[in-house]
Structure 1
């Protein structure tokens, strides 16, 4: 009987021990789950707050507003646009307001956090652009350089490609600071950011301005690029092609340079001294580009020459102005009274240039042979520069193959010469198949209604004809990807001048690129529905943070 009692007691103790172990494990599991739930709730709250701060940074970047103020401390009267925007959003969001009032670990409004968020935003947008560019069939690059307000030479790089929806994109990639403007320096910086080695054939064109360091066919950037990317044909800037050629054609004549430099002073004087008489004469201001010849200013000066003379004389004879203004007005009056500024003074200008600065009284008339020699020299210069700058024009010839208004003509006589030049320029194409497809396209009425290569490409994509007309679609993508104008780089320069101003001339290069990206590519940022989440993921992975942003 005693043995049975001992056995029963042992059984009860075993059961109690097992049940206690189960209860402890369940309690530990429950406690662990509660801890994870609380952690994730805190992460959700922190991510929501950080997303609101990211929205404020995006807003300032999209509208090119200065984030920082004169004094960002608590109670400051000038905390800056970013802090003011955050406070405004907090007045509408109770969670953010509570966070700003009680946060001790991570507040999110410091300049360090601003820079880190801008770096993350730049990285997210750039990765998206790289992904889209690498998924496209072809790619073109546009590059140009300018000097910012801090006298730092900046090279802008723009990528042109066709996205998955068939739309042409010209995406700003970055501003690259240049230590020197040599061809080697520019080419090295471009190599560092474009396609990898295994995608060389995708780069089909490179577009630069007419500077010799860029367009040089022996030691310029375009030659160094073609040595690595053989399919990257050089396309001259169409935006100011003729201006640059005319500038080079006349830059060796000193009198011509002096003539145009003098014209720049007329609008500047009228702006500094807007008298009643000069306000009636609308003198166009000169732009800060090297290739502008100020044709409007020339016409205005010659049309209103007599009025300008009377205006300058009245200013010169006035005793109410400072001596510097009186001397400038007198000099302008004497200049306009000169016979060389009368209407149709082309011959007198040529005479000045040819005589090398001789006195007007001793000027001798030039023989017709000398005039003919001067004209021939200018024409030879123009032709030489034109041939050098536009040595590659096969892309224009290729475009004639898909010019809808010529389709009826091509049904009677196929453009064999244009096809052969196209195949020579773009060896990726299958000539036999392309000719068959083009012959079929020329016979179909529905294709003759298309206006331009992009319209024809979208017609093929809309009707799922990419595989049927594969070679034609490839040629269309090449033509559409090749830039015809380079206005995007000029827009990037305008953005640079609005962001990096005299009062913000010490910003870092990373911050400049991030703010420029948010402004130029604001549409891409808006279309990325998960943009804030990607930025938060990058922000959380940069380093170990005291605030919790990663879910368990």
Structure 2
């Protein structure tokens, strides 16, 4: 019987209690199921199956479905169509087919060498062979390979009674005892993995101050282990009687975390290898131990057309120079991409610092020397901050306005007594202003604008019950809130900031691309232009004053100032958000312009796109886009499965969607870093940090892998020779 513990919504549901002897019964039941397909062997590798399952798979033989592999080739002026014939199955007994991948595989190699990293092995075990023109040559070459011959020998010997079994019945009993012990050990290790995974996913510290027996503060990991032991008799007995492998030490924790990191990174690398195009995001920060950390994030589209931004690694830096950063990035990229795959890297996104964006000696230029298609993208969220900084710092009166505005929140933050009165009168806290995060400034503008009368009342209350310096400050804020110029600027930015907020939120989304950003920018600029021409801004009046200030703005000056603010924002938007160089490709996929392409095609944008991405066929792309109609094109591509017909358009779509427009995911990684590596956990090793960060940030990927624990156990068993047994015979 299997008991499930539901102690958090997501976490402890994995900590199930099972009798290890059920493993033998379940494997015998699975042996009767047809599990010799390529898909089944990829989900559960042959090496992780029991002897009964292996013999059943051998009896079933290689799967041989009817495949629809066709290949068109030309010789001279004649076209030939080559297709796969089923008589190939009779000619080669080791040949297997997969109707899902519509490709041919080597059955013995798929069983015994599924991760053959040679070029020939990859074709016959991972990707599958679909080249009918050179099939005979590929078959002959593969049959000569050493690993193929070794796989065929192992496949032939599988299930036959060896001499040791014939001569000694005790050998068979020893194998049974060994497998029983392995089942128990894997069950114990599975429980420990679940406890470590729980702590990693929820960013909890594994170790406590004192992990000795009977300690009052053994740590969360030991607490989870003791909790699971109360529900699992086998696990409880192991903790009480184990003398060889108990599994609760710091060393075992680090080894398990290292194996988890390796398994998840292996899965990410598989997805990157399968993706058509890949982009990177990188940014640097300093952690609590003053170590400079560079985060590397990979962006790509999977086979289901879902956009992923995967955390890959925190990389320690000895110095923050362009050469040092570029060398660290290139080292990782060279391990990810072979020489034939370098064109897949199509973009690199950074925050715009001079050391990163330098055109001659910056990081982006050093990376492009090795990856020519890796075009640089300046984070658009940072550019929006720069636009708002320019709009507020170049105009002196606006600069004074935001300085005075930030003083209100600082006034209340310095005293709990003042904050108490603020809570009583206004019933709302004032957010702090920020020089870089303009969505923070938006919050304080909106708060002050919506609660200006209550704030005046609050300052009047403070004047009656505080000391003289505080009374002077409160009186100054009252005059400021009643000032016509202050109220005017407050009204102007109260109208502008909501549109900045909307654009900023859109720039933070993972699935944002150049086309969507272009549409969002058009809406933003249209909104600012509408505000610029609005007559209501100049009619805003402050509280009536006994005497008008000589420096107060007149109506014409207010009108000029409002237009200057809007013009500054619009001018910088046009300059910083211009789609030039490789980003001009986004203009080719604007749905509202498709109807014009039949009569007036943007040839300059097409030339720039093909120059930036030479893997595209210019003539074919021109023909596909000239058909016109966004709905019609979308219907052709998605509903009628015309990806091959419109291959260049699909490739361009993949490039545009893969290109990251912001580095928001990299900054989210820094937030996780600060939660994991805290003041009390500042001596954490780099590999342990990366493992805990991976479990936290890629928790969905970890929980979606059905064989995650089994793969971690296999990796753990292969690390070194262990006295405990974890592999079946």
Query: Residues 118-148 of structure 1, C-alpha deviation per residue, up to 9 Å, x if partnerless?
Result: 1111111112111211221111011122333
What secondary structure does 1:413 align onto?
A: coil
- In the superposition, relative to structure 1, how do residues 107 and 26 fare at CA in structure 2: closer, same or farther (>3 Å)? closer
What aligned pairs does 1:93-492 form with structure 2 within 5 A after superposition? Answer: 93-194=232-333, 195-196=336-337, 198=339, 199-247=341-389, 263-264=405-406, 266-271=408-413, 272-273=416-417, 274-281=419-426, 282-286=428-432, 290-292=436-438, 294-298=441-445, 300-301=447-448, 308=455, 311-312=458-459, 315=462, 318=465, 327=469, 330-331=472-473, 333-334=475-476, 337=479, 342-344=486-488, 387=575, 393-439=580-626, 441-442=627-628, 446-447=632-633, 459=638, 463-492=640-669
- Once the two structures are superposed, what CA deviation does each residue of 1:366-420 show, in whole Å capped at 9, x if it has no partner? xx9xxx9xx9999899968974x55763454323333334333323433333322
Distance in 1, Cα, partners of 2:655 & 2:662: 15
Q: Relative to structure 1, is the Cα distance of residues 406 and 34 closer, same or farther in structure 2, using a 3 angstrom cutoff?
A: same
Measured against aligned partners, the alpha-carbon deviations of 1:430-474 in whole angstroms (never above 9, x if no partner) come to 1112222333x4279642569xxxxx5xx1xx7543322222221
Note closer, same or farther for the CA distance 1:329–1:159 as it changes in structure 2 (3 Å cut): farther
Q: Give the Cα–Cα distance (whole angstroms) in 2 for the partners of residues 151 and 257 of structure 1.
A: 34
Shift of 1:264: 4.4
Distance 2:422 2:624 in 1: 67
Shift in CA distance, 252/35, structure 1 to aligned 2, threshold 3 Å: farther
Aligned position for 1:537: 714
Please tell me whether the aligned partners of residues 246 and 382 of structure 1 are also in contact (alpha carbons under 8 angstroms). Answer: no
Contact 1:149 1:497 survives alignment (8 Å): yes
Residue ranges of structure 2 left out of the alignment (5+ in a row): 1-162, 491-548
> Counterpart in 2 of 1:36?
175
Give CA deviations for 1:214-233 in whole Å, capped at 9, x if unaligned: 22223322222222222111
- Could you tell me which residue of structure 2 aligns to residue 70 of structure 1? 209
The Cα shift of 1:341 comes to: 7.7
Aligned residue pairs total 496
Inter-partner Cα distance in structure 1 for 2:401 and 2:629: 57
Whether the 8 Å contact between 1:245 and 1:386 is mirrored in structure 2 is no
User: 1:511 corresponds to which residue?
Assistant: 688
Inter-partner Cα distance in structure 2 for 1:383 and 1:90: 66
Task: State the alpha-carbon separation in 2 of the partners of residues 125 and 509 from structure 1.
Answer: 16
1:204 is paired with a residue whose SS is strand
1:12-27 aligned at under 5 Å gives the runs none
Question: 1:363–1:471: structure 2 CA closer, same or farther, 3 Å change rule?
Answer: closer
Q: Counterpart of 1:144 in 2: which secondary structure?
A: strand
Q: Which has the larger radius of gyration?
A: 1
The secondary structure found in structure 1 opposite 2:687 is helix
Specify whether residues 225 and 255 from structure 1 end up closer, same or farther in structure 2 by C-alpha distance, changes over 3 A only: farther
- 2:698 alignment partner in structure 1: 521
Task: Give the conservation status (yes or no) of the 8 Å contact 1:313–1:330.
Answer: no
- Higher relative contact order (Cα pairs below 8 Å, separated by 6+ residues): 1
Q: Which runs of 5+ in 1 are unaligned?
A: 1-23, 347-360, 451-455
1:11 — aligned with what?
none
TM-score, normalised to structure 2, is: 0.60
**TM-score normalised by L of structure 1:** 0.77
Is the contact between residue 185 and residue 725 of structure 2 (CA under 8 Å) also seen in structure 1? yes
| Contact 1:106 1:547 survives alignment (8 Å) | yes
